[in-house]
Amino acid sequence: MHIPNQKPIRSSVATGEGGLSDTVGIQRAIRACGKNSAIGLSALLVVLTFSDFANAANCKGPSAPGADWSDCNKKQLMLGGIDLEGGNLANTDFTLTDLRGANLTAANLEKATLVRSSLAGARADKANFAKVEAYRSSFAGISAEGASFNSSELQRTNFTGAKLTGADFEKAELGRANFDKAVITGTRFPMANLSRATFSGSTFEGPLDFTDAFMFLTRIEGVDLSAATGLEQEQVNLTCGDTATKLPAGLSVPANWPCPVD
């Protein structure tokens, strides 16, 4: 029986070209093997299996700066003090994981799950926390200057004593988040949900951006917001301040201040 000559198969794992995880790569592999060839089909399945294995192998790779743990399951682990500076941790599941004191400087954690995890005392300057799920997590004492928390789920998250200079919380869900004693100089909260969040005791020098932020019962007792930008009277009327609270020029103290203890 004559078996037609088969064209050589170039795996994306070996060449880095035409990845088999996308439609174009699969089509190329099928043409290389022969669309109607049983041998070609078998070879394709082997290549696909090997490609999937190679991608999954990163999840068991060593912890090191620049590590690729994207899409991995890292739930309920003790990773305190780990060094993942510049690592790719996108879409990684860190639910209930201990990351206290970890080095996450410039790491990409976009869409990661950090529910009830602890990043207390971690270093995460310039890190990307965009679209993370991190409700009821601890970021106490974290250094996350210049970090992005854009569109993240951060309800009841603890930012006590955190260094958040220049951080971006645009469109973040921060209901009941605690910023007590946090440094929030130049931090941005446009369109963020700050309902019942606590800023009392926070420290900053320079403006904060509250443009279109929802501030229902946001605690700003004793906070100097005279340099804040984006604040409107309608927002202030929803907040909880006191006689020590300072507002930007043109805004007045609401009649409902001070609020009862929550």
C-alpha neighbours within 13 Å on the C-beta side of residue 43: 19
Please check whether residues 189 and 240 belong to one and the same domain.
Answer: yes
155 and 36 housed in the same domain? no
Residue range of the domain that includes 172: 63-262
Give which of 23, 25, 43, 24 is closest to 33, Cα–Cα.
43
Q: The domain that contains 135 carries what CATH number? A: 2.160.20.80
194 and 173 in a single domain? The answer is yes
Residue 136, domain member (yes or no): yes
Kindly calculate the radius of gyration of the chain based on its CA atoms and give it in whole angstroms.
25
**In this structure, are 44 and 135 located in the same domain?**
no
143 DSSP 8-state letter: B
Q: Looking at the structure, do residues 53 and 169 belong to the same domain, yes or no?
A: no
By the 8 A CB rule, do 132 and 109 touch?
Answer: yes
Co-location of 161 and 47 in the same domain: no
Tally the domains of the chain: 2
**Residue-wise pLDDT tens for the chain (262 aa)?**
454 454 444 433 333 333 434 444 545 544 554 545 545 544 444 444 444 444 443 798 888 999 999 999 999 999 999 999 999 999 999 999 999 999 999 999 999 999 999 999 999 999 999 999 999 999 999 999 999 999 999 999 999 999 999 999 999 999 999 999 999 999 999 999 999 999 999 988 888 999 999 999 999 999 999 999 999 999 999 999 999 999 999 999 999 999 988 7
Rounded Cα–Cα distance for residues 46 and 48 (Å): 5
| Same structural domain, 186 and 248 | yes
C-alpha to C-alpha distances, 147 to 32, 143, 158, 165, 188, nearest whole angstrom:
45, 9, 16, 9, 11
- DSSP H helices, the chain, are 12-15, 23-33, 38-56, 233-238
